[in-house]
Structure 1
Amino acid sequence: MRSILTSRHGSLIPLLFASTMACGPALADNPSRPDLDNPATIAAGAKRFNQNCVYCHGNAGSGGKGAALQGRHDLTPEYLFQTISNGKQRGSLLMPAWREAFSEQEIWELGSYILSLRDVGPKK
């Protein structure tokens, strides 16, 4: 009789571990996140955005290859955290998952900066 922790291919433990890690950081019921309205948090996010995101999302989130982020009142902090962490595919465009490159704090900072663009109009 086979143990519940093994399959015909061996142990399930690595498979279970890999499947939980593939989803990226999970948001806890009470996530420890910085104050997203703090100017220092927004500034840190802006710096990281300009180093890593501007190529696709444009200057100040004005759009380009990636979606425009200015004037987006539909984006929630949790949605931004999950999207930045896990990436997103839209048609043939693929935003990579950044969970291996950035800490949770850094992802929240990026989200803070993106949220600060809500009241910024498109650049002409």
Structure 2
Amino acid sequence: MLALARSASLGLAALALVACAAEPLPSVTGMSVLVKLVQPSADPAIVTAQVGAAAGRPVRYLAAMSEAWHSVYLRCEGAADCDALLQRLRADSARIAAVQRDERKRIVSP
């Protein structure tokens, strides 16, 4: 019984050592943003294409606030990447009239 416990603890120690030596994965996060298009559209495919072209990465459409304002989700890797992405969207004045983080409160039921 003691030999089994010793083998198990050595195995766990080896796994812990391997896990510590592995390179950390980048923190993949994302953010919801509200965008106002220069040319309003009610078509989610058009909104996704416009915002995706401005962002330079895939976009997931969430909802329409109006024909001009839409909520979309963008993946980014950490705070610096998310901030750079917001700046990229703000810089594309040919497609995007305004952009802001979607910081609306969400009601979560228990």
Is the TM-score greater than 0.5?
Answer: no
Relative to the length of structure 2, the TM-score reads 0.28
Higher strand share: 2
